[in-house]
């Protein structure tokens, strides 16, 4: 989770036994978008964000064949906390991280 994702989403996922790591917990809170996406990729974790700039970074990598672990984007005004929790739980439990390499998904599903 990047710093823009509400902690309520992280908490809701953890209550559903979904493994979540926030940028704050990883010590990556102040990383620029490019470095944060690199860090998630190094860890083999899909990055969940509500940051438009991170979405732009992922799109640029798709166009330039730059690899990344995957991005799931939830617009701040179009996705509810409960909806994000439900969709992210489904994604986490019905897929494996390798399926998300170089992919961008948008919430709500």
Q: Is residue 55 assigned to a domain? A: yes
Helix (H, G, I), strand (E, B) or coil at 105: strand
Q: Is residue 2 assigned to a domain? A: no
Show Cβ contacts of residue 80 under 8 Å, excluding neighbours closer than 6 positions: 108
Residue 75 is predicted with a pLDDT of: 92
pTM score, whole prediction: 0.94
Residue 55 is predicted with a pLDDT of: 92
Contact, 107 vs 87, CB < 8 A?
yes
Q: Is residue 18 assigned to a domain? A: yes
Residue 4 is predicted with a pLDDT of: 92
Q: Is residue 54 assigned to a domain? A: yes
Instruction: Count how many domains the chain has.
Output: 1
| Domain interval for residue 78 | 7-107
Q: Is residue 1 assigned to a domain? A: no
Going by their DSSP bridges, the two strands 104-107 and 71-74 should be labelled as: parallel
Q: How far apart are CA 61 and CA 102, in angstroms?
A: 8
CA atoms within 13 A on the CB side of 41: 17
């Amino acid at each position: 989770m990047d710093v823009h994702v509400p902690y309520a989403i992280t908490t809701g996922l953890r209550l559903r036994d979904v493994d979540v790591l926030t940028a704050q917990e990883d010590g990556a809170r102040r990383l620029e978008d490019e470095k944060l996406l690199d860090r998630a990729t190094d860890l083999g974790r899909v990055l969940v964000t509500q940051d438009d700039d991170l979405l732009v970074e992922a799109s640029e990598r798709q166009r330039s064949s730059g690899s990344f672990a995957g991005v799931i984007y939830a617009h701040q005004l179009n996705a509810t906390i409960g909806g994000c929790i439900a969709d992210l739980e489904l994604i986490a439990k019905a897929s494996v991280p390798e399926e998300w390499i170089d992919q961008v998904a948008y919430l709500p599903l």
